[in-house]
A and B are shown apart, each in its own frame.
Chain A
């Protein structure tokens, strides 16, 4: 049976139908209520954020002394608040110390001053932000995790209730789902071959197709005009009409897909255990690495530094860049296989879940576990929202924790029960919605306080026009970063090595010595790697190896160089110290050092 038109035939969603051209939750209908909502919210926010001028006027009193003290207190408070907010916008630490050149120092001072001003201006500009984030608060003996979706729906505006829906698609599940970077489009991939992309707020179906093959994952590319599907044997790229554009034959039996939007790379991992990067602008394979831990099913791309995090069957999470043949890091996260993995957008936290029934929170800057949560069954899906809510799903249960990354919390923020076992999960960017793919379709759950309220239209615009999308596409291509610029620390570009040349030299020497000592301790001998004198045939490979070794500065070489230098110094000193021969008064005289020659 063909599944094309499947979604349109299944109007099981309460409220909105996913029928092409018919918009159930039209923005015009909900416009008024949303306006009122945001206005009532805006008022206290503006007052809180900008107390400086308006409050000062109000507090003017006849008693001069009182007024002054009030004003200074308020000013102090405002200044302190501003300083606190400024911290977020400071990029890197200030440069300490002085340089010798006055001109250079003046340049550095000027740049520092400008940076501080920019951070302050950015903090001040926060009061221009129009939206405030959502929240869910309990009163009295209530608990937030006891609130059901129905209760929440009764208390929010109509436009928000439109975002709660269930899609009953019980034929081709379980479903994996992904949202586009601006949160406007949803991509569904049913395990048994059903793919659909939906403008979910308007309920407008983009395309729908059946690939007659197993689908393991789906992924949007740089915008909603292209998407990739991990199918049984290979990955495929389709366009927004559902036409197959490419077959990516290097991605063999892929299980998980990820996209690096700034590098325009599609990453996949699969049953072969390989991590493959493909440049979607020119089709080149940018990197192909063998992790060596067997099939893997989990891949997430860090939004902070674009490093791919791959979870393996032995509980290890490996971190990859496209151009580095070795993993950037390996973290033993669980004792059993990794089931799911999530990364926060600030590049600080990683959440993992394993078969051992734990959800663990890691500081990925230091590769340290911060704390762990127990789940009733091993969590199958994890995600972290833009504002740091952690969602975990196991069986039919969903749990969402608030402030659970930096600290350990006891009770969840929200709970929800799905119609069937969860298979994948994702927060909608810039919205308070969590999408869940499960065995019998897709559910959309309202999670107040999940999304970033103020989007940057030049980064991701939920109200993007087609023209803006085209322009953004061109900009993305122009600003495409080279694949080799991916590092664990993304700020390495433009950073200077402050060490002097001598210091660099001595550091490299110390490094080499340390390596040498370590390898000696491990029982290896550096000098036995390739010998110059070999018995037997002088093969090309050996000659090549010797030649390559000629450029390698190892400890032995450094020691040899040092010895030669020392010899030279000694012989020169010896010659200089030698007594002046009586007969040497001619032209060669100058080569004998005189006592008063200080040069």
Chain B
């Protein structure tokens, strides 16, 4: 007779000391896990619901400016500080960790501050500001004199322009910066006059942005609906792209040097490959009013945009619709947005003179996480991804409450689009076959491209 009966010793399954974790032997035999698919689906639904339950994106509203914020700059060498310029000419540096003003220059400009940028390197904490008073000023938090009243700082250097400035951006490695006014001017920091004037037929240039990877390329956009790329080595334009409506802002992708995103008056954000601009690489459509600013996440995978419809939207750069929308009752027209360098926060400056700090992922929580917590979060992410096409889960994940005005406007927009499409289809039916080809959405808004 050979016999053996199951006999487990409790000591084998108990933890040795109280500081140990409990032993949890696993057995993945499917027979022990009945109804696993149904349970997994239920867990996915729960994960989706929990994500929405914990979605509290708004962190802080930093007040201090007494006019709207129209310019903002983040610093690649300094995570904590962000510089803003307001309509009354004040420039402030904010400490994000302490959520307060770290430095301010009231009356830095007479009139609006239109552009701010940091001087790369970071050790001096220098930054540039330009305003409608035709002045470009270099500021420093650590050096530089203080005015007679003891608090108001003086600029380190001042440059006189011929026209009211619209934007400023600094070269990544050389002591050069570019400003936009009625033309794009390139300045050497050691000279009082611009070293190059770049024009290609615009009367006012809204924005100028230096590429931080391909450092000799810069892009500008003007009120003549054009986006122009210039090369600093030849001081000449490379290509000009004309769209149906004008562009308000440009952001270069920090990871893919050839790619840039534009914030357009036609409510859309377009991404382009500068090597082939006859069509956009992607059209991001969800805003219901002009997009005022756009910025890439440091990963280059995501975008944030601020719009005249009083909302901030976050986008996956490869998808066509926003993954989230942020708004508050008191936030007015958003004029500048930035993704912070740690990929965790989003900043928005708006007409109501407040700088707002948001989470980049609404339901994510900061702080150290235990292994178990991290595993749970990863599992939930995977579940949501696996079941995102199932109706119930999708509905929970997509549901967003937006202000009535945005909701109504998006409905109206949807109806208008549908109606236009219907009309086009009807026309196509009665026209000669092939005489009305369908235009791809990605090239609809592009009127033409000229290369030099």
Q: Which residues of A contact B (CB under 8 A)?
A: 27-28, 30-31, 33-35, 37-38, 41, 88-89, 91, 122, 125, 129-131, 133-139, 142, 147, 151-152, 155-157, 159-160, 163, 262, 303-306, 345-347, 386, 430-432, 446, 448, 451-459, 461-463, 465, 468, 478-482, 485, 490-491, 493-494, 590, 597-599
Judge if B330 is at the interface, Cβ distance under 8 Å.
no
Cβ-neighbour of A151 out of B1, B33, B42 (below 8 A): B1
Q: Would you call A30 and B3 a contact (CB within 8 A)?
A: no
Q: Would you call A134 and B6 a contact (CB within 8 A)?
A: yes
Q: Would you call B8 and A138 a contact (CB within 8 A)?
A: no
- Alpha-carbon separation in the docked complex, A454 to B27 (Å): 6
- The chain B residue with its CB closest to the CB of A475 is B43
Interface string of B31-54 (1 = CB under 8 A from A): 111110111111100100000000
Q: Would you call A27 and B29 a contact (CB within 8 A)?
A: no
Judge if B77 is at the interface, Cβ distance under 8 Å.
no
Q: Would you call A485 and B3 a contact (CB within 8 A)?
A: no
Which of B6, B23, B37 is most buried by chain A, counting CB atoms within 10 A of its CB?
B6
Min CB–CB distance A576 → chain B (angstroms): 15
- Alpha-carbon separation in the docked complex, A155 to B3 (Å): 7
11 cross-chain CB contacts under 8 A:
A91-B37, A131-B6, A155-B3, A156-B4, A345-B34, A452-B27, A456-B32, A459-B27, A459-B32, A463-B13, A481-B39
Q: Would you call A491 and B8 a contact (CB within 8 A)?
A: no
Cβ-neighbour of B25 out of A134, A136, A454 (below 8 A): A454
Cβ contacts under 8 Å, B25 to chain A = 129-130, 454-457
Q: Would you call B8 and A34 a contact (CB within 8 A)?
A: yes
Given the interface pairs A130-B25, A457-B25, A494-B37, the reply to whether A136 lies near B3 with Cβ below 8 Å is yes
Q: Would you call A156 and B34 a contact (CB within 8 A)?
A: no
Min CB–CB distance A567 → chain B (angstroms): 22
Q: Would you call A38 and B26 a contact (CB within 8 A)?
A: no
Given A122-B28, A346-B31, 11 new contacts (CB under 8 A): A38-B8, A38-B12, A91-B37, A134-B3, A137-B2, A142-B1, A159-B7, A430-B6, A457-B23, A482-B42, A599-B433
Cβ contacts under 8 Å, B11 to chain A = 27-28, 31, 35
**How many chain-B residues does the 8 Å CB contact rule pick out?**
40
Cβ contacts under 8 Å, B29 to chain A = 88, 452, 454, 456
Cβ contacts under 8 Å, A453 to chain B = 6
Q: Would you call B34 and A262 a contact (CB within 8 A)?
A: yes
Cβ-neighbour of A494 out of B9, B24, B390 (below 8 A): B390
A-B pairs with CB below 8 Å: how many?
167
Given the interface pairs A41-B4, A157-B7, A305-B34, the reply to whether A494 lies near B41 with Cβ below 8 Å is yes
Cβ-neighbour of B37 out of A35, A139, A493 (below 8 A): A493
Q: Nearest 6 A-B pairs (CB), nearest first?
A: A27-B10, A457-B24, A34-B9, A137-B2, A160-B5, A463-B13
Judge if B440 is at the interface, Cβ distance under 8 Å.
no
- The chain B residue with its CB closest to the CB of A345 is B31
Cβ contacts under 8 Å, A448 to chain B = 3-6
Judge if B97 is at the interface, Cβ distance under 8 Å.
no
- Alpha-carbon separation in the docked complex, A457 to B27 (Å): 8
Given the interface pairs A35-B12, A131-B8, A478-B46, the reply to whether A456 lies near B2 with Cβ below 8 Å is no
Q: Which residues of B contact A (CB under 8 A)?
A: 1-14, 22-35, 37-43, 46, 387, 390, 430, 433
Min CB–CB distance B436 → chain A (angstroms): 12
Cβ-neighbour of B42 out of A152, A386, A479 (below 8 A): A479
Q: Would you call B4 and A37 a contact (CB within 8 A)?
A: yes
Q: Would you call B433 and A598 a contact (CB within 8 A)?
A: yes
Cβ contacts under 8 Å, B8 to chain A = 34, 38, 131, 462-463
- The chain B residue with its CB closest to the CB of A92 is B37
Which of B32, B35, B390 is most buried by chain A, counting CB atoms within 10 A of its CB?
B35
- The chain A residue with its CB closest to the CB of B24 is A457
- The chain B residue with its CB closest to the CB of A27 is B10
- Alpha-carbon separation in the docked complex, A254 to B244 (Å): 76
Min CB–CB distance B424 → chain A (angstroms): 16
Min CB–CB distance A263 → chain B (angstroms): 9
Min CB–CB distance B11 → chain A (angstroms): 5
Q: Would you call A485 and B30 a contact (CB within 8 A)?
A: no
Q: Would you call A262 and B39 a contact (CB within 8 A)?
A: yes
- Alpha-carbon separation in the docked complex, A122 to B10 (Å): 26
Min CB–CB distance B106 → chain A (angstroms): 55
Q: Would you call A481 and B10 a contact (CB within 8 A)?
A: no
Cβ contacts under 8 Å, A346 to chain B = 31
Which of B12, B28, B387 is most buried by chain A, counting CB atoms within 10 A of its CB?
B28
Min CB–CB distance A337 → chain B (angstroms): 29
Min CB–CB distance B438 → chain A (angstroms): 15
Given the interface pairs A455-B27, A457-B24, A494-B387, the reply to whether A38 lies near B34 with Cβ below 8 Å is no
Cβ-neighbour of B6 out of A151, A305, A451 (below 8 A): A451
Q: Would you call A481 and B6 a contact (CB within 8 A)?
A: no
Q: Would you call B24 and A479 a contact (CB within 8 A)?
A: no
Q: Would you call B35 and A481 a contact (CB within 8 A)?
A: yes
Cβ contacts under 8 Å, B14 to chain A = 463
Cβ contacts under 8 Å, B42 to chain A = 479-482
Q: Would you call A89 and B28 a contact (CB within 8 A)?
A: yes
Cβ contacts under 8 Å, A125 to chain B = 28
Cβ-neighbour of A590 out of B7, B13, B430 (below 8 A): B430
Which of A125, A305, A459 is most buried by chain B, counting CB atoms within 10 A of its CB?
A459
Cβ contacts under 8 Å, A304 to chain B = 34
Given the interface pairs A479-B42, A479-B43, the reply to whether A432 lies near B35 with Cβ below 8 Å is no
- Alpha-carbon separation in the docked complex, A465 to B32 (Å): 20
- Alpha-carbon separation in the docked complex, A160 to B2 (Å): 15
- Alpha-carbon separation in the docked complex, A27 to B387 (Å): 45
Min CB–CB distance A304 → chain B (angstroms): 5
Cβ contacts under 8 Å, B5 to chain A = 134, 152, 156-157, 160, 163, 432, 446, 448
Cβ contacts under 8 Å, B41 to chain A = 493-494
Min CB–CB distance A93 → chain B (angstroms): 14
Q: Would you call B30 and A493 a contact (CB within 8 A)?
A: no
- The chain A residue with its CB closest to the CB of B10 is A27
Min CB–CB distance B314 → chain A (angstroms): 24
Cβ contacts under 8 Å, A451 to chain B = 6
Min CB–CB distance B318 → chain A (angstroms): 12
- Alpha-carbon separation in the docked complex, A458 to B27 (Å): 9
Q: Would you call B6 and A431 a contact (CB within 8 A)?
A: yes
Min CB–CB distance A144 → chain B (angstroms): 8
Cβ contacts under 8 Å, A139 to chain B = 1-2
Min CB–CB distance A488 → chain B (angstroms): 13
Cβ contacts under 8 Å, B430 to chain A = 590
Q: Would you call A490 and B46 a contact (CB within 8 A)?
A: no
- Alpha-carbon separation in the docked complex, A31 to B10 (Å): 7
Min CB–CB distance A38 → chain B (angstroms): 7
Min CB–CB distance A519 → chain B (angstroms): 34
Cβ contacts under 8 Å, A31 to chain B = 9-11
Given the interface pairs A138-B1, A151-B1, the reply to whether A160 lies near B34 with Cβ below 8 Å is no
Cβ contacts under 8 Å, A30 to chain B = 7, 9
- Alpha-carbon separation in the docked complex, A159 to B430 (Å): 89
- Alpha-carbon separation in the docked complex, A490 to B30 (Å): 13
Min CB–CB distance B364 → chain A (angstroms): 21
Cβ contacts under 8 Å, B6 to chain A = 131, 133-134, 160, 430-432, 448, 451, 453
